[in-house]
Amino acid sequence: MTVSTRRQAKRALRRQARRALPLWRRLLPTWRVVLGTVVTLLMTAVAAFAVLYVIVPVPDPNAHAVAQNNIYLYSDGATEIARTGAVNRTDVTIDKIPLDTQHAVVSAEDRTFYQNRGIDLKGMLRAGWNTLIGKGTQGGSTITQQYVKNYYLTQDQTIARKGRELFIALKVDQQRDKNEILAGYLNSSYFGRGAYGIQSAAHAYYGTDVSELTPAQGAYLAALLQAPSSYDVKTAKPANRDKAIARWNYTLDGMVQLGFLSAADRAAETFPEPIDPQPTTGLSGQAGYLVGVADDYLTSAGIIDAATLKAGGWRITTTFDRPKQDAFTKAVQQELTDELDPKTRPTTDTDVRVAGASVEPATGRVVAVYGGPDYAKQPYNDALRQDNQIGSTFKPIDLAAGLVAQHAPDGHPITPDTRYDGTSERHVTGGPTPYAPPNEDDIDYGNITLRYAMVKSVNSVYAQEGVDAGLARVRDTAVKLGIPDNVPGMDPSNTSMTLGTATPSALDLAGVYAALANHGQAHTPWSVLKLERLNTGSGSIDVPKMPDHAATDALDRQTADTVTDVLRDVVTRGTGNAALDLGRPAAGKTGTTDSNLSAWFAGFTPQLTTTVGLFRENPKTHAKEPLAGTAGLTRINGGTFPTKIWTAYMTDALDGTEVKHFDLQTGHGNGGGQYNWPTSSAPASTTPSPGTTPTPGATPPGTAPAPTPTAAAAPARPTATPGEPTPGPAAPSPQAPAPTPTQDQPSATPRPSQTHQPKPTPPASATAPPTGAATQPAAP
């Protein structure tokens, strides 16, 4: 009998024996069938597992997992200004997390973490059994699985999500080391109090950086991971407080069992009470304005784009100096806000707004800004807006352009001692549009120097001088010094440009005056020292390249220093004399615009440049409203509140610093120190002549009187130098002249009443908020 025959015979005997069994027994499978089925199922499961392991990819991180704060810091690199972003999280590398804190988390959440392969089958089975027998729903997830859930998946409680979690955890464990996984878990976990990640949790519960956590504090944060809201002992019910402390003890005991902590050190630990919940560092107060300036700089300078900045995770160290910023806020409060009485004067003391900026001349660093009283109440940054005319603060630019132009009506170089007719409403000759600006209070100054005209802010003189210098050159000088070339009011086809129809921001204007203080070397104001972000994928630090902030040659030193020399006299003898209270050398210029719609003071010492602007704006229509009547004063000039705020701020900002004198190398006439300043005695003649001594503008001793044109007969135009645009005829232009800035701080001698030709009618002032100011809402 062959082998095959014997096998067939044995099978026949077995079938026969099985048929002899009772029915119920025949229904049960044989051990061979059971074994075959089990083996088949196991092989199918292994095959399915292998297929799923291959086809289930490690996905990209979910949006919530990578969302982080942007953290803004003062220039000291430690004092926080604000945090922005929907998710309060700041990622850190594993080396920043104390080893005791790492071990506490492993003890609390996954004691096999350093040994398992991403999943713990025994833990999962134990958790499943405990759930079945009524011990409550329990999780058997490893730290790797929790990291996968937080970072790659969602919190959905579904079988499909749990299955993907398992396969991805296995892959992640194969692809990454344990420290990287632990860091990812600690950066993505929620700890309560709105804090995502261990760094935010350290600040939220202990007010410290994660690197400063003690072992006991790290153990408490680890305990929070099981039930973040319930285990916050400052807000928990008594029962939950007991559970939180029990979980803390469990964590420490586990550290001893795992060999991470000695029994003696464990016995010495006491429960570390966390601090009370703190309000999130938001954008209220000055914070929102500072953030706006920093964001505007980062994006406008092309350092990073707006989308990258908004993605979060950036640690931004700004140039803002905390004491100086506080001093600016204090100065506005004391010198202006405390003087306002909206209840008694509701039509004049409401909606008064201040724009201010302070810059280091030597570097261009922005050390402080004032964008409004409180960003939470007024979320519009007045320090950045470009819709307020700067008035007579533009006159130093006219003078600088004239010094560069090197010609005057009589053919001689323009210097501070060059004489002009200061008759009010004197018609400007050679300008592209008709223009006859009045001096403040309609005062006639007669034949005066450009220096004296700056000190008294004589409109008729600088309107003509700007045309003599060439309006194209005036515009070019303004742009080189730092006024943006795209702001309104910078059109050289309008003669009125000479008196400050331009609308740069307070920060722009601070840059202009900083260039004068820096001997003609201009820096575009900048506000960020350092920018860095942790790359959560590689663990490296992203540090974008910052500009080098090299100065540009806006003016030669002699020209800039000559303008500064003249501006010193504005403080010592002129419209800015309120700044004398600073008690140290200073230079500056006041400015007040048509209809008293804005008032300015821009000034500097050798160390610091600051601008302060004042205006009123209807909160509903956003129309500019006159400042007249503010704080009960008939008129608000640049020499009043703006200069007082400037002086109070600069006094505090420079307190304790060396008193420095200006180091000037003038070369265009420097007679300020020897000038015999005239005093007012009698009204000036309407038509001064060589035989008449004009009272406000008397000729200084030792100076030959210059030709004195009359109001009707303007000085002859000089011949243009090579490269100088030839002024157009004084013919009407299709474009009406822009609003005319008025005179600052008048002399005590008004001119007699007389009849003048009609003045150009200015167009309505702009009422809409400016465009292009970064991070601001559509309406102030």
User: What pLDDT is recorded for position 540?
Assistant: 72
pLDDT reported for residue 318: 98
Instruction: State the CB neighbour count (10 A cutoff) for residue 414.
Output: 24
pLDDT at 728 over 90: no
CB neighbour class for 421 (10 Å; exposed up to 12, middle 13-18, buried from 19): buried
Tokens 């004032």, residue located? 370
Give the single-character DSSP code of 118.
S
Q: How does the average pLDDT of the chain come out, rounded? A: 81
Query: Where does residue 482 rank: exposed (0-12), middle (13-18), buried (19+ CB within 10 A)?
Result: buried
The residues near 390 (Cβ < 8 Å, ≥ 6 apart) are 500, 502, 503, 504, 509, 591, 593, 598, 600, 602, 613
Tally Cβ neighbours within 10 Å of residue 763: 11
Residue, of 540 and 506, whose pLDDT is higher: 506
pLDDT surpasses 90 at 229: no
Percent of the chain with pLDDT over 70: 77
| Coil vs helix vs strand at 638 | coil
Hunting for tokens 């809409």 — which residue is that? Answer: 768
pLDDT tops 50 at residue 209: yes
Q: Six-digit token pair at 487?
A: 């702001």
User: Which pair of tokens denotes residue 8?
Assistant: 């067939």
Query: pLDDT category, 697, cuts 50, 70, 90?
Result: very low
Q: Are 74 and 324 in contact (CB under 8 A)?
A: no
Task: Tell me how far apart the alpha carbons of residues 763 and 595 are, in angstroms, rounded to a whole number.
Answer: 12
Length of the chain: 780
Instruction: Please compute the mean of the pLDDT values over residues 496-501 and round it to a whole number.
Output: 96
DSSP state, residue 343: T
pLDDT of residue 779: 32
What are the pLDDT digits (tens) for 273-307?
A: 999 887 655 788 999 999 999 999 998 899 988 77
Query: Is residue 204 over pLDDT 80?
Result: yes
Residue 590: phi and psi, rounded to 5, are -85, 165
Separation between Cα atoms, residue 94 and residue 187, nearest integer Å: 9
Query: Is there a contact between 213 and 206 (Cβ–Cβ < 8 Å)?
Result: yes
Q: Residue 206 is inside which H or E element, if any?
A: helix 198-206
pLDDT value at residue 170: 82
Cα 689 from chain centre: 56
Three-class secondary structure of residue 128 per DSSP = helix
Q: Work out the pLDDT band at 772, boundaries 50, 70, 90.
A: very low
| Token duo for residue 627 | 């400042």
Taking the C-alpha atoms of residue 737 and residue 759, their distance in angstroms, rounded to an integer, is: 10
- The Cα–Cα gap between 299 and 305 comes to 5
With beta carbons less than 8 A apart as the criterion, state whether 656 and 432 touch: no
DSSP characters for 225-249?
TTSTTTT-TTTS-HHHHHHHHHHHH
Please tell me the distance from the alpha carbon of residue 589 to that of residue 639, in angstroms, as a whole number. Answer: 9
Q: Would you say the pTM of this structure is higher than 0.75? A: no
12: helix, coil or strand?
Answer: helix
CA 666 to chain centroid, in Å, comes to 37
What is the pLDDT, as a whole number, of residue 765? 34
pLDDT of residue 68: 80
* Sign of the torsion angle spanned by Cα atoms 190, 192, 195, 201: negative
Mean pLDDT of 154-164: 64
Do 552 and 480 touch, CB atoms closer than 8 A? yes
Helix spans in 274-394 (H): 287-300, 306-310, 322-335
> In the predicted model, is pLDDT for residue 246 greater than 90?
yes
Q: What is the CA radius of gyration of the chain?
A: 39
> Angle of helix 471-481 relative to helix 506-517, nearest 10 degrees?
90
Run of H or E residues at 368: strand 366-370
Between 310 and 160, the more confident residue is 310
Per residue in 88-141, pLDDT (tens digit) is: 788 899 999 999 999 999 999 999 999 988 777 776 666 566 656 554 444 568
pLDDT, position 726: 32
Residue 658, pLDDT score: 95
Q: What is the pLDDT confidence band of residue 544, given thresholds at 50, 70 and 90? A: confident
